[in-house]
Amino acid sequence: MMDAVAGTVVGRLAPSPTGVLHVGNARSLLWAWLSVRAAGGRVLLRIEDLLPGAPAHLASMLSDLLWLGLDWDEPDEGTLGSMDPGELLPAAGGRPAVVLQSARSELYIEVMGKLVDAGLVYPCVCTRKDIALASRAPHAEDKGRAYPGTCRGRFAGEGAAIRWEGAQALRLERRRLGCALRIRVPSETIRFSDRICGPQAVHLPSDSGDFVVRKKDGHYAYMFAVVVDDLAMGVTEVIRGDDLLDCTGQQIALYDAILTHGGLSGGIPTWSHVPLVLGDDGRRLAKRNRSIHVQQLAADGVDPARLRRWLAESMGLPATGDLDALVDAAREGIPAAGSRQPVTFVPELLRG
């Protein structure tokens, strides 16, 4: 556990190498970076590659961050998964260590074991079809389908569930799938306040039901890993795109469970969910559109200060690409934090 100085803001840049960074990602990352730097806090870099990512993808992501001008601080000594970024990208050599989620499974196993022992997690053999057929939210206007709790109390433990699944696979002559692990969600409504989106209330039994924390293939769910990592790394504020607002109630339930039974200490961070960036067609930016990729802008010779200037303007900050000036301005607050309205990006604005 990081020995953070009391009152110190600790934020994180946590990109995922599922694709290249685009302008929307850059806006959320810069927002998170400015918020921490303006508070005199520490920024940690964690690459969320739950499945080991291709070195080229990881190097590309680091290259994008360096091009944007974003820096980060050294994680606590001995932080699991820390590595010299120069091993991924020579140009990043000499910079503080990055943390790879794919190298932190030892911690996930330890915390999960404690939740299992506490009876908060149970095995589940349900397929998506099973859940759809048993769903209590069959109407199109309802938000998703909450898991109906079919496997709650069904098996004495994971071993029994695996044996049942194996027998089913033999009987039906199908590939053996294994079992997932789900966490029991609390019956009460979870309430929290988002710094941008305001007060939120989530009734998890009807919103999602018990959700998966480890998948049938044995890999840990993003929802679980990110909460464990933020606690273990001492993160005090989370700033990310508002497409993740809906999963925050589930994450808070995990925080409560892990702080009580999972062997980690700390607290629940503050939340800020940043409005998304739209393309000139009015739709959310898509990674398939190369014109909005950070690496494409760099390849086209766009000055990174020009992109930072556009990003700053979109946040209501002074129209400058100078990071020191933006940090100074952000100490008075980021004006766009008072609005949930998305912004529109037109690539040609940077190429003129």
**pLDDT (tens digit, 9 = 90+) per residue, 303-336?**
999 999 999 999 999 999 999 999 999 999 999 9
Cα-Cα-Cα-Cα dihedral sign, residues 251, 254, 260, 262: negative
Coil, strand or helix at 308: helix
Look at strands 180-183 and 121-124 and give their pairing.
antiparallel
- Domain ranges for the chain: 10-103+275-351, 106-274
Fold for the domain defined by 106-274: Rossmann fold (3.40.50)
Closest Cα partner for 35 from 307, 273, 330? 330
SS3 6: coil
In this structure, which topology does domain 10-103+275-351 adopt according to CATH? Rossmann fold (3.40.50)
- Average pLDDT over every residue of 216-234: 95
Half-sphere exposure of 20 (CA within 13 A, CB side): 19
**Per-residue pLDDT at 1 exceeds 50:** no
Instruction: Look at residue 16 in the predicted model and tell me its pLDDT.
Output: 86
At 282, the pLDDT band (50, 70, 90 cuts) reads confident
Same fold yes or no, 10-103+275-351 and 106-274: yes
pLDDT digits (tens, 9 = 90+) for 197-223: 999 999 999 999 999 999 998 999 999
| Amino acid letter for position 134 | A
pLDDT value of position 346: 85
pLDDT at residue number 247: 95
Question: Which amino acid appears at position 308 of this protein?
Answer: R
Helix, coil or strand: residue 329:
helix
pLDDT digits (tens, 9 = 90+) for 137-191: 333 333 457 999 999 999 999 999 988 888 876 666 566 567 999 999 999 999 9
Q: What residue spans of the chain are helical by DSSP H? A: 23-38, 55-68, 105-117, 128-134, 158-172, 204-207, 222-232, 248-261, 294-299, 304-314, 323-330, 348-351
Residue 77's Cβ-count burial label (10 Å; 0-12, 13-18, 19+) is: exposed
**Spatial CA neighbour of 1 closest among 345, 235, 210, 280:** 235
Burial, 164: exposed, middle or buried (Cβ in 10 Å; 0-12, 13-18, 19+)?
Answer: middle
Provide the 10 A C-beta neighbour count for residue 260: 12
pLDDT of residue 145: 76
R_g over Cα of the chain: 21
Q: Which residues of 36-65 are buried (b: 16+ CB within 10 A; e: fewer)?
A: bbbbebbbbbbbbbbeebeeebbbbbbbbb
Residue found by looking up tokens 């100085």 in the block:
5
